[in-house]
């Protein structure tokens, strides 16, 4: 394979799936083919019982500079619809998802990062939601997700102006959850996802649904907890001062 070809790479190790956005010639901009590929890749990883956590990142020193602008001139494609489908697939991933951000996280890159459950960034990263620079109407679902994440005023600032913000402001607004010094991002992400992999998948799945507004599933998750035995195992492990052995998995 030509290593400069725009693509999505992925690996699975230690319960963690890592998806890498790679388009080095264009700061990891997402082509139409990359947008189209992402939902199927996520479905494949979600079905893998070995995958507990998903990390989304960019190749090299950039997360993603947005959509490949040349695709906007192709009348045969609808890049915004493709981007929204990819974003929704990422948001629906059943396990915890984390965006590890270096460099530019702009446009469609910010759209993908916002669809993750958490975002860790390296100092010096830049964030922007830039449809106003192109005269593009940002999708309603993407706008609602951004507003839910950072609030109406901060979302309007980004959408109205298309300006880039630094990690300090991104952290203040809630666009990122942690900012790491240069050289420390990979170490922190690795440590954090190992922690997530050791925790209750049942708790994480229920919390993800509840945080997304699915209060109607309260009885379902209470039944899952009762049947799984994970609560009893967690309490026993705590009292016995050992690591718990949780057994619940998606679809159990």
Task: Tell me whether residue 2 is in a domain.
Answer: no
- pLDDT of res. 250: 75
Task: Tell me whether residue 165 is in a domain.
Answer: yes
Starting at the edge strand found earlier in the chain, the sheet holding 178-180 runs 7-13, 16-22, 53-58, 97-101, 118-122, 178-180
Indicate whether 186 and 221 sit together in one domain. no
Q: Are 12 and 53 in contact (CB under 8 A)?
A: no
Indicate whether 223 and 151 sit together in one domain. no
Q: Are 147 and 128 in contact (CB under 8 A)?
A: no
Indicate whether 146 and 209 sit together in one domain. no
- pLDDT of res. 2: 52
> What is the SS3 assignment for 11?
strand
Indicate whether 87 and 175 sit together in one domain. yes
Domain holding 22: CATH number?
3.90.226.10
Give the count of domains, the chain: 2
Task: Tell me whether residue 19 is in a domain.
Answer: yes
Indicate whether 213 and 190 sit together in one domain. no
For the packed helices 140-150 and 108-115, what is the interaxial angle rounded to 10 degrees? 60
Coarse DSSP helix, strand, coil percentages of the chain, rounded to the nearest 5 percent: 50, 15, 35
**Mean pLDDT estimate for the chain:** 93
Range of the domain at 112: 7-196
For the packed helices 152-161 and 140-150, what is the interaxial angle rounded to 10 degrees? 130
Which residues in the chain come in under a pLDDT of 70?
1-3, 71-77, 251-252
Indicate whether 105 and 210 sit together in one domain. no
Task: Tell me whether residue 143 is in a domain.
Answer: yes
- pLDDT of res. 1: 47
Task: Tell me whether residue 103 is in a domain.
Answer: yes
């Amino acid at each position: 394979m030509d290593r400069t070809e725009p693509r999505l790479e992925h690996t699975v190790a230690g319960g963690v799936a890592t998806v890498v956005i790679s388009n080095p010639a264009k700061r990891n901009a997402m082509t139409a083919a990359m947008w189209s590929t992402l939902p199927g890749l996520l479905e494949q990883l979600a079905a893998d019982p070995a995958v507990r956590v998903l990390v989304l990142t960019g190749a090299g020193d950039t997360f993603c500079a947005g959509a490949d602008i040349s695709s906007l001139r192709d009348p045969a494609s609808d890049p915004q619809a493709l981007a929204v489908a990819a974003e929704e697939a990422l948001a629906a991933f059943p396990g915890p998802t984390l965006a590890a951000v270096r460099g530019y996280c702009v446009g469609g890159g910010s759209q993908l990062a916002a669809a993750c459950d958490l975002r860790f960034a390296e100092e010096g990263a830049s964030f922007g939601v830039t449809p106003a620079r192109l005269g593009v109407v940002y999708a309603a679902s993407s706008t609602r997700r951004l507003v839910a994440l950072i609030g109406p005023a901060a979302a309007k600032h980004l959408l109205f102006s298309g300006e880039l913000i630094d990690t300090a402001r991104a952290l203040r607004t809630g666009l990122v959850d942690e900012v790491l010094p240069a050289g420390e991002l990979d170490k922190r992400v690795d440590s954090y996802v190992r922690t997530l992999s050791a925790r209750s998948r049942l708790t994480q799945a229920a919390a993800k649904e509840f945080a997304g507004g699915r209060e109607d599933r309260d009885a379902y998750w209470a039944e899952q907890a009762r049947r799984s035995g994970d609560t009893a195992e967690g309490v026993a492990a705590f009292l016995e001062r050992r690591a718990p052995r949780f057994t619940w998995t998606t679809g159990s």
